[in-house]
Amino acid sequence: MKKFITVTMLIVLCLALALTAGCGGPEEPAPAGEQPAEGEAAEEALSVALILSGPANDQGWNATALEGLQNAEAEFGIETAYMENVDIAATEAAYRDYAAQGYDLIIGHGYQFGDPAAAVSADFPDQYFMATEAGASTDNMASFVMSCEQGAYLMGMLCASMTESNIIGVVGAYEQPSITKELEAFKLGAAEVNPDCQVLEIYVNSYTDATLGYEAGMSMIDQGADVLYHVANQAGTGTINAAVEKGIYCCGNSYDQSSVAPENLLCSTVYKMPIVITTAVGMVKDGSFGGGVYHLGMTDGVVDIAFNPDLLSVIPQEVQDQIAAKQQAIIDGSFEVPVIETPTK
């Protein structure tokens, strides 16, 4: 009888242990430092930092890059940070600051970020660096170049078709390859549709000083220009303001800027940096990011133009059709916009 009770008690005890701990006995808790983060196994979220030459809310060059960072955050669940108004002289220090904080990918938005990114990348071989519109590269640093000249060519066609004085103007930020290629393409596009059109050009040596852009625009208007375009980031808003003040047409750059001057701005070049940045972040995540210079244009959906719908009626249909045909030729490869990175004044 005693033997039966003992066996029965052992069975009950085993069942109790099985219900509370499962087969194999109770588990010991993992050490506190080895607990997995909520929602993920062992992998930490990728961290990406963005460095901008001007204000992030400029409705142009910098705004489209910030939009790209935000899109990447939503798509990939990354941790992000950004820095605004970084002067050319401070670009390398900005890269080093983010690298020292351990950011996995650090993006500088603009040609001037290329060489500093390459220099810093050598000291942080386990992290990744990127610059837009640059030509530098290392094993862990890449440049992503947009074919901005394609949009500028179409803006030249449009401005030269809309002028009544046969004088148009274009304002550039700095005399550097990424900007010069746009001014030169603008002049070529103008010459295609209106060989007699005179193109005035001024480099203001600033990305952010709207006063300089305004003064450049006014100078051109004083010389008879009646349609203006800019490739000057925040400084270019000053050029648009000059056009508004004098009641002439203008074109925007980098972003659909029709809201800046709804009664004057005919069309904008549009650079879809969100596609560029999400592409780069995806390459880091899947391990394919490496050195090199990547070119993306209209064929890739990265470069485009955006007409102001409120002013579309003032542009003759034949001009719209001519521009649409040229854009399609660029996309299908039957026309290639020349890339000229040295000014031809």
pLDDT tens profile 222-276: 999 999 999 999 999 999 999 999 999 999 999 899 999 999 999 999 999 999 9
Whether 199 is covered by a domain: the verdict is: yes
Q: Are residues 215 and 325 in the same domain?
A: yes
Residue 11 in any domain: the answer is no
Question: What's the half-sphere exposure (Cβ side, CA atoms, 13 Å) at 15?
Answer: 6
The helices-and-strands tally (H runs, E runs) of the chain is: 10, 12
The gap between the terminal CA atoms of the chain, to the nearest Å, is: 113
Look at the block and give the residue holding tokens 């052992």. 10
| 126 and 262 fall within a common domain | no
Q: Is there a domain that residue 229 lies in?
A: yes
**Cβ partners under 8 Å of residue 338, min gap 6:** 149, 184, 185, 188
Higher-confidence position of 343 and 41: 343
Distance separating alpha carbons of residues 110 and 113, to the nearest angstrom: 6
- Looking up residue 161, the CATH number of its domain turns out to be 3.40.50.2300
Rounded to whole angstroms, how far apart are CA atoms 332 and 86?
Answer: 38
Q: Which residues contact 216 (CB under 8 A, 6 or more apart)?
A: 169, 171, 202, 204, 238, 239, 242
Residue 29 in this model has a pLDDT that exceeds 90: no
Q: Is residue 342 part of a domain?
A: no
For helices 236-246 and 210-222, what crossing angle results, to 10°? 40
* Chain segment 104-113, per-residue pLDDT in tens: 999 999 999 9
Whose tokens are 């056009």? That residue is 243
Same domain, 115 and 95: yes
Q: Is residue 23 part of a domain?
A: no
Are 237 and 279 within one domain? no
291 part of a folded domain: yes
Instruction: Check whether residue 156 and residue 233 sit in a common domain.
Output: yes
Give yes or no: residues 325 and 226 share one domain: yes
Task: Give the tokens for residue 9.
Answer: 């008690």
Share of the chain above pLDDT 70, in %: 88
Q: Can you give the residue range of the structural domain that contains 67?
A: 47-146+274-300
Do 126 and 78 belong to one domain? yes
Helix, strand, or coil here: 189?
helix
Residues 73, 207 within the same domain:
no
Q: What is the pLDDT of residue 76?
A: 95
Rounded Cα–Cα distance for residues 297 and 264 (Å):
27
For residue 32, the model assigns a pLDDT of: 37
19/344: higher pLDDT: 344
pLDDT tens per residue, range 45-62: 899 999 999 999 887 889
Cβ-defined contacts of 325-334 (< 8 Å, 24+): 326/153, 326/154, 326/157, 327/154, 327/298, 330/150, 330/153, 330/297, 330/298, 330/299, 331/298, 331/299, 333/299
Mean predicted lDDT score pLDDT of the chain = 89
Helix (H), strand (E), coil (C) string for 78-97: CEEEEECCCCHHHHHHHHHH
Alpha-helical regions (H) of 122-272: 148-162, 177-193, 210-222, 236-246
**Is residue 324 located within the same domain as residue 229?**
yes
Q: Say if residue 250 is in the same domain as residue 278.
A: no
- Helices of type H across 273-345: 273-286, 317-332
Residue 20 has pLDDT above 60, yes or no: no
Same domain membership, residue 253 and residue 112: no
CB 88 within 8 A of CB 112: yes
**Could you give the number of structural domains in the chain?**
2
* Distance in angstroms (rounded) separating the CA atoms of residues 80 and 72: 9
Question: Does 25 fall in a domain?
Answer: no
**pLDDT at residue 345, as a whole number:** 73
Does residue 75 form part of some domain? yes
| CA distance linking residue 106 with residue 12, whole number of Å | 61
- Cβ of 82: how many Cβ atoms within 10 Å? 19
Cα–Cα distances in angstroms (integers) from residue 305 to residues 145, 219, 278, 323, 326, in the given order: 17, 27, 21, 10, 12
Q: Tell me, yes or no, whether 142 and 164 share the same domain.
A: no
Which conformational region is residue 292 in: left (phi greater than 0), alpha (psi within -120 to 50 degrees), or beta? left
